[in-house]
Structure 1
Amino acid sequence: MAKLFLTSYFAEVASAIASFDKRLEGKRVTFIPTASIPEEITFYVEDAKKELEQLGLIVDELEVSKASVDEIKYKLQNNEYIYVTGGNTYFLLQELRRSGADKILLEQIRLGKPYIGESAGTVILSPNIAYIQEMDNPDAAKNLESYEGLNLVHFYPLPHYGNQPFKDAAELVISKYSDELELAPFSNNQLIAVIDGEAETWIAVS
């Protein structure tokens, strides 16, 4: 069954992953930085790599907008963890669909492979990503035909709640969509763990 760890800023909550899996040393994580490509600010990508390596994981990067189908399939099927960084959710969804990585990703998650999402990598799991346009620019994905997400969670994660520079944008999302969507706001020092369909919010302890 699915094991999902939904984060806003992974560097602040990495220790919580270690509490879930005590045997991380030497395991390989497929690291997908694709969402960060259209962004000017990308420090969180290197921050995440460093934290994963400090946990003992071997980072195996997979940039799906450039990778072949065979490379995507091999890494997602053979590595023990999947990690998807933050960035632009619309561009990420576009490239996952275009490359066919979305189907392989879903297959592996449903087989029980742990998935860690950061910001855009979290939002992508919702039923539909249209609600996040207050934070992300849809124009980054000119060829995206549908905003339907991967639909692995029934709710709509709202990362960076209460954190700058997204504080006002998060409040705007809540004011626009709280009556029609099951929003799940969470801050940079929280993560939402979804194990076998049961969601629980964890607060990282420094």
Structure 2
Amino acid sequence: MHTLFLTSMFAPMAARFHDFARGDCTGKKACLIPTASSRQKVRHYVNADRSALKSLGIRVADLEVSTASPQEIRRCIGQSDYVVITGGNTFYLLQELRRSEADKAIVDHIDAGKTYIGASAGSVILAPDIGYISHMDSTDAAPELAGDYTGLGVLDFYLVPHVGNFPFKAAAKAIQDEYSSSHDLQGISNHEAIEIRDGAERIIGA
């Protein structure tokens, strides 16, 4: 069974993750993958999410999959209690996860029942396909995908982050308007999360 905590931004939901983890966070290891933001000018949300994890007593190790060796990727993910993927461009994230084969290690982590935390792109990437997020993220950032936007396929629905929140309010609405009739969309704001454990799923607020 999968254990997933999916957000638009982790920091506002950190207290709820503490509840989700049943208070057992102190001393746990997290492998944090900030790759989606590595070519973004604005990255403050990654620092906020990292700080929020540390505030729970979690030991955080960053893993930049665009430059890490296969051994470093397997080690960081394999030795961690949590895999955390933060926000940025989902298409660039997918490109680098595929190229480095970190995607396989992440799915193995999830399939083993270990906890996965997603924020924005890190939540979207688990969908069957990420093409729907092009209203929010530019596909130009990932030319190597060559139009193949198959996601990690852990979810059977399509998460829409930042619903109702600046500066993505219009983009989130455009996604909902275009895809609501063809995709099982589940939208969350910056102060909501989707918890999945033991086959049960629910949306919670901060």
Fold shared by both chains (TM-score > 0.5): yes
Q: For the residues of structure 1 that align with 2:15 and 2:73, how far apart are their CA atoms?
A: 28
Q: For the residues of structure 2 that align with 1:6 and 1:33, how far apart are their CA atoms?
A: 15
- The Cα shift of 1:197 comes to 3.0
Q: For the residues of structure 2 that align with 1:74 and 1:196, how far apart are their CA atoms?
A: 26
Secondary structure of 1:116's counterpart equals strand
1:173 is aligned, of 167, 172, 175, to 175
Residue identity in the other structure for 1:177: Y
Q: For the residues of structure 2 that align with 1:199 and 1:133, how far apart are their CA atoms?
A: 26
The residue number in structure 1 matching 2:194 is 192
- The Cα shift of 1:159 comes to 0.4
TM-score, normalised via structure 1 length:
0.97
Superposed structure 1 runs of 4+ greater than 6 Å apart:
none
Residue identity in the other structure for 2:25: L
The residue number in structure 2 matching 1:72 is 73
Q: For the residues of structure 2 that align with 1:116 and 1:105, how far apart are their CA atoms?
A: 11
The residue number in structure 2 matching 1:110 is 111
1:96-153: CA deviation from partner (whole Å, max 9, x where unpaired): 0000100011011100110000000000000100000000000000101310001111
Q: For the residues of structure 2 that align with 1:188 and 1:5, how far apart are their CA atoms?
A: 13
Q: For the residues of structure 1 that align with 2:121 and 2:199, how far apart are their CA atoms?
A: 20
Residue identity in the other structure for 2:123: T
Residue identity in the other structure for 1:61: D
Structure 1, gaps ≥5 residues long: none
State percent identity of aligned pairs.
46
Query: In the alignment, does 2:137 pair up with 1:136?
Result: yes
Q: Please give the residue correspondences for 1:2-21 in structure 2 after superposition, counting only pairs within 5 Å.
A: 2-21=2-21
- The Cα shift of 1:160 comes to 0.3
Secondary structure of 2:144's counterpart equals coil
The residue number in structure 1 matching 2:184 is 182
TM-score, normalised via structure 2 length:
0.97
Secondary structure of 2:186's counterpart equals strand
Q: For the residues of structure 2 that align with 1:197 and 1:176, how far apart are their CA atoms?
A: 28
Secondary structure of 1:73's counterpart equals helix
Secondary structure of 2:32's counterpart equals strand
- The Cα shift of 1:41 comes to 1.1
The residue number in structure 1 matching 2:83 is 82
RMSD, aligned α-carbons: 0.8
Secondary structure of 1:13's counterpart equals helix
